[in-house]
Chain A
Amino acid sequence: MANNKVLFRIQRFDPEKDEKPHHQDFEIELAPGATILKTLHQIRAEQDPTLALRYSCGSAICGSCAMKINGHAILACKTQVSECVRDGTVRVAPIGNLKILRDLVVDIEPFWESLGKVKPYLMPKGAAPDRERTQTPAQFGSIDPSTTCILCAACYSDCNALEVDPSFVGPASLAKAHRFIFDSRDAARQQRLREISQRTGVWDCTHCGECSTRCPTETKPLERIEEIRVQAMADGHHGNAGARHALGFRESVGKRGFLDENWLALRSVGFFNLPGLISLMPVGLRMMIRGKMPPLIPHTIDKVDEVKKIFARFEELRK
């Protein structure tokens, strides 16, 4: 039946032959209920045994088979082909932000290394009791989402912040950090919050939400990142650029109903941080040359009282 035919456009790369990745098309007769993984195996069996990919459990728990379909990371084993066909074609590529080794296989080592940066193990409170440590169902519930992470790296693949700054620890590592920060049995919450508030940590996320959109589990890294930020602020971890930026943002908008970007940049870096301030100069100069510099004299919007009311109401609700 012609209507069951689909074109798989697969990104190929053979390190022994190719200088750069290219595409190869495979026309395939879809089996009913076919998943991406089963169809790739079908292609391997019927057309090209050299297609390389990772896979194992086939039931969405081992995290091996993350790959990009139509430009976005998914788990191949649990994704129905029927949901991915665009104009008769499914585009398949390896996950992003990692070096391609062969076809759909990437060098995943940087991902494991990033995980190591958040001290991904319990640092327990006191000596172990004879029995289990107690924990309320609600305390378990607070780490329930972040402990569902299967380390598939789908979030790492599609993270926009990582794309521009590979030193960012990335969403999965932050979700792992969350799992300990909010674990009632962990003794190192403040140490963790302090460390994760520094550069490459929780404030380097740009809030694009790709990680949570791509996450195949309930981990939803962006939500976990926000919970960490709120906790870090509540616990007074303000001595870092991320926190200063967030506080400055609120101050500027709350006071003038307007974001004073010049002031915010200085506020984030720290007014007395000379090297930091100097580091802003090249950006500032480029902005000036291109005419993108915001007005140097801040103004206040007309109905700033309305904005202030919103802030006051929010503060009330928060209490």
Chain B
Amino acid sequence: MYSHDVVIVGSGLAGLRAALELAGNLDVAIVSKLYPSRSHSGAAQGGVAAALGNVDGDSVEAHIYDTVKGADFLGDQDAIEILCNDAPRTIYEMEHWGCPFSRTEDNRINQRAFGGHSYLRACFSADRTGHALLHTLFEQTYRQGGKLRLYSEWHMLRLIIEDGICRGVVAMNIHTGKLEVIRGKAVLFGTGGYGQAFKITSNASANTGDGIVAAYRAGVPLQDMEFVQFHPTGLYLHGILLTEGARGEGGYLINAEGDRFMSRYAPSKMELGPRDIVSRSEQTEINEGRGAGPNKEYVLLDLRHLGAKKIMERLPQVYNLAKDFIGVDCTADPVPIQPTAHYSMGGIPADNDCHVYLDEQGNHVTGFYVAGECSCISVHGANRLGTNSLLEALVFGRRAGKKMLDDVPRLKLAPVDEQREISAAQRQIEELYKGPATEDLDTIREELKQTMTLKVGVYRDAGGMEPAQAKIKQLRERFAKVRVGDKGKSFNINLLEALALSNMLEFSELIVDGALAREESRGAHFRNDFPTRDDNNWMRHTLAFRTEDGGHELRYKPVTVTKYQPEERKY
């Protein structure tokens, strides 16, 4: 058994930023199934939002309003105020730590346009902003020398909460297969999102919702799980992200007829409408037969008019991805794209200091904190604006660090029954070796991903989601018949995949049930059978609680409104 003051699970922007706030003051461990530089924060491309006003007359207030409206009024406005107010300080801090930012002609941080933002607000490092930020924090961990204990390539299986007190985690050293309890006075999850449940996704293989499911199984509710963002420019069939910055730099979306179809959906913002609206517009074009390609299954991102020089300078990664993955030279031809599952608005509920809620009454789990995509604080509400996620991870990662710095002196290392916890994790693993092997892991995963993309995707309705609900139930039963084929101890990828699939099946059910219950359309959640927003009944957050029998119960809590009453959302 290992013990630390603080155990951080996840080594992306949120986890690392929190760790740096604590390093030198508390004994901090960072547990991650990857190495820090490989976390999915690094895949963010286009920018990080802050009203610096370096290129126009932007203001924090405008950023707040854009975020509230972008969230389709489901965001908690007090949290959004914190996010936007703290944004300029956050960017300067990262710059002072050495983050390379693209520059203006007057040598300041350059800013570009992004969907749903009314000013040029996205600070960027070419089109690899997440990579630049993540590596900057990773560099800072070296500066801390030995003050941070890294448990890299450790897979977290269980969160230990007893009597409302968080006590640590059970994790497996992937190199040896050994299970260990890692105790902490405080535990922070920065474990990322759950986009792997979809067939077409921009998410890394690692984004299997391990953190949210561990919390849920430990008795923590999950909030707004039905809100999954579909990014408008996923590379056709691959789902790989092509940054919104491509449209921020002036790229067009066209259909098979070469028509800039966004003029019919968001006439004033055009391609720079928020992601939910642009993705739906694309899907409508495809559904109504105006898609391009032999099967009319995709639309096109046209960058040709930007010229090769601008593309190579501002969008080099977009150029390389299109070339390497589908052989398209985007300086010469438009790129086939389709909506791709991208961001998880839902997650573990917490207050503005990242302290996790135990219920809808505002009770907390002592010693448990969350930040970044796995959290639902909720700054993104029903639809996140591009560039606000990197910002959220940094702002709330730091806040979580500060909060833990305050709280830890008052917290004790709570007792853990090590043998019992290890045995429970052991059983979780052994179950996966007991099945009759009449079912196959990859088949079940594929069927789940297909179901989620086709039935619980950009457009939803009861007619599709009720069968999806039944399908997932059936997949969970079939999963019990899977048997992991690899018995090795070291780097047992097969076992890790099975653990991940078990997580995916568990939270996918919550996505579908939350979406079926929510009989309205709001942000990324669009119901063909309930196509309008219903503020009277549904301006509230969903909370899914796990019940004794392994099922779940949905409860609701109100949205925090400070300044902006809901209004019709037009772009």
Contact = CB atoms under 8 A, between A and B. Distances in A.
Interface of A: 14-16, 33, 35, 44-45, 49-53, 55-64, 78, 80, 101-103, 105, 108, 112, 115-116, 119-122, 124, 128, 130-137, 139-140, 143-144, 147-148, 150-151, 179-180, 183, 185-186, 218
A55 B496 CA distance: 12
A64 B38 contact: yes
Interface in B453-496: 484-486, 488-494
A132 B38 contact: no
A78 B325 contact: yes
B489 A151 contact: no
Given A56-B38, A150-B131, A144 B205 contact: no
Contacts of B35: 108, 112
A179 B135 CA distance: 12
Given A56-B206, A121-B140, A50 B488 contact: yes
Nearest to A41: B442
Interface in B128-182: 128, 131-132, 135, 139-140, 142-143, 175
A61 B42 contact: yes
A51 B37 CA distance: 24
**What are the 7 tightest A-B residue pairs by CB atom distance, in nearest-first order?**
A122-B98, A49-B485, A134-B107, A45-B442, A52-B491, A121-B143, A121-B139
A16 to B, nearest CB: 6
Contact of A50 (B175, B442, B494): B494
B105 A128 contact: no
A143 B486 contact: no
A101 B175 contact: yes
B457 to A, nearest CB: 19
A148 B474 CA distance: 45
Contacts of B105: 137
B40 A105 contact: no
B559 interface: no
Contacts of B262: none
A101 B135 contact: no
Given A57-B204, A102-B491, A132-B92, A151 B139 contact: no
A60 B131 CA distance: 11
A59 B142 contact: no
Nearest to A185: B98
B320 A52 contact: no
Interface in B67-114: 91-92, 95-98, 100-109
A147 B135 contact: yes
Given A105-B491, A132-B108, A140-B102, A58 B204 contact: yes
Interface string B231-243: 0000000101100
24 contacts: A16-B490, A44-B493, A50-B494, A52-B492, A55-B205, A56-B205, A57-B42, A58-B238, A59-B325, A61-B128, A101-B175, A108-B35, A116-B142, A121-B140, A122-B139, A130-B92, A134-B106, A135-B101, A147-B100, A147-B125, A147-B132, A150-B37, A150-B42, A150-B131
B131 A61 contact: yes
Nearest to A15: B490
Nearest to B493: A52
Interface string B436-452: 00001110000000000
A73 to B, nearest CB: 16
Given A50-B486, A56-B38, A135-B107, 14 more contacts: A49-B484, A49-B494, A53-B493, A56-B40, A57-B38, A57-B205, A59-B202, A59-B325, A62-B38, A64-B38, A101-B491, A121-B98, A137-B104, A144-B100
Nearest to A148: B128
Contacts of A185: 98
A121 B125 CA distance: 17
B321 interface: yes
A133 B490 contact: no
